[in-house]
Amino acid sequence: MPDQTGIQGLHRVEHLMGMPIGVDVRDDGIDPAILDELFDWLRSVDATFSTYRPDSEISRLNAGTLRRADAGPHVRAVLDRCETLRHQTGGYFDAHAVIPGAIDPTGLVKGWSIEHAATLLDCAGARAYAINAGGDVRLRGRPRPDHGWRVGIQHPLQRDRIAALLELDDGAVATSGAYERGHHIVTPRTRRSPTGVLSVTVVGPDLATADAYATAAFAMGRDGPTWTATLDGYEAMTILTDETVLTTRGFQRAARRRPC
């Protein structure tokens, strides 16, 4: 979006993987062809991982017509990482818990594919950009010289409000909550939506990890905030059903970060 500095930048929004994905590059002089490459990449990810497409590798794995060893390198890498995150989160991030009897790595694919999209922008020379994929955000640089990216955290109960305002230069912000897309997160042990928590926002260097941590912490319910305080390199804000806000110390710092 052009601003007071007169920088034109690059912008595009497309509807992919079941959500609008917006790319907002604030550098001048970046070849617009990078956006074609970026969205082509996301389309190829959707074709490979979608559980809604019967010919995707994930659908064929679940149908038993494709063996895991014969899947492509992207699928194997994502499934391996899902396993790692399942261990890291004590089973609360579980690609097997979404659809009974089947694997659905969608919860990791979004962040993983956006991380690669960010790398494409890096390689094209972009130094200030935001990618917003269905409310999960990957950022680099500064939109304006005097301050970083201002990220509003959606209020979980009132859709015309934001719950908090973060300002940061680089990193990822992911929010999980029952209010978006209905109750799509279930606690693995009970297969029910967790109670006591409205939303969890996680900030950190990698969007896939932040997204998985937010999903896991939300699934933990009232135990989530304590768990988020143990995370290395990631900070979290949890909004409980009584609208109490619990934040890790680093999250407060991120929220307070101001231009020097």
Partner 1 sequence: MRHTIAALLVTAVAVVLLLNFKASPPQLTGTAPTTTTAAAPARTSAAKARTGAAAGGASGTATGELMQHQYGDVQVQATLRNGQLTDVQTVAIDGVDGHSQQIDSQAEPLLRAEALQARSGSIDTISGATYTSEAYIGSLQSAIDKVRNA
Per CB under 8 A, residues contacting partner 1 are 1-3, 8, 11-13, 15, 18-20, 22, 24, 130, 132, 134-137, 143, 149-156, 159-166, 173-177, 179-182, 199, 201, 225-226, 229-230, 239, 243-249, 252
Q: Three-state SS for 176?
A: strand
Kindly state the tokens that stand for 191.
């297969």
Helices 106-123 and 33-49: angle between axes, nearest 10 degrees: 160
- Of residues 85 and 131, the one with the C-beta less far from partner 1: 131
- Of residues 57 and 238, the one with the C-beta less far from partner 1: 238
- Of residues 67 and 256, the one with the C-beta less far from partner 1: 256
Q: How far is CA 19 from the centre of its chain?
A: 12
- Of residues 77 and 165, the one with the C-beta less far from partner 1: 165
- Of residues 17 and 85, the one with the C-beta less far from partner 1: 17
- What is the smallest separation between the CB atom of 195 and partner 1, expressed in angstroms? 19
DSSP 8-state class, residue 144:
B
Cβ partners under 8 Å of residue 88, min gap 6: none
- What is the smallest separation between the CB atom of 66 and partner 1, expressed in angstroms? 28
CB count in 10 Å sphere of residue 63: 10
- What is the smallest separation between the CB atom of 72 and partner 1, expressed in angstroms? 28
- What is the smallest separation between the CB atom of 245 and partner 1, expressed in angstroms? 4
Backbone angles phi, psi at 49, to 5 degrees: -110, -10
With CA atoms as reference, report the closest residue to 228 among 242, 243, 239, 238: 238
- What is the smallest separation between the CB atom of 21 and partner 1, expressed in angstroms? 8
- What is the smallest separation between the CB atom of 16 and partner 1, expressed in angstroms? 10
- Of residues 90 and 134, the one with the C-beta less far from partner 1: 134
- Of residues 123 and 162, the one with the C-beta less far from partner 1: 162
- What is the smallest separation between the CB atom of 77 and partner 1, expressed in angstroms? 26
- What is the smallest separation between the CB atom of 235 and partner 1, expressed in angstroms? 11
Q: How far is CA 97 from the centre of its chain?
A: 19
**How far apart are the C-alpha atoms of 33 and 20, rounded to whole Å?**
20
For the CA atoms of 138, 139, 140, 143, the dihedral, rounded to the nearest 10 degrees, stands at 150
The stretches of 24-71 forming alpha helices (DSSP H) are: 33-49, 57-63
- Of residues 82 and 217, the one with the C-beta less far from partner 1: 217
φ/ψ region of 51 (left if φ > 0, alpha if ψ in -120 to 50, else beta) reads: alpha
Residue with tokens 């604030």: 26
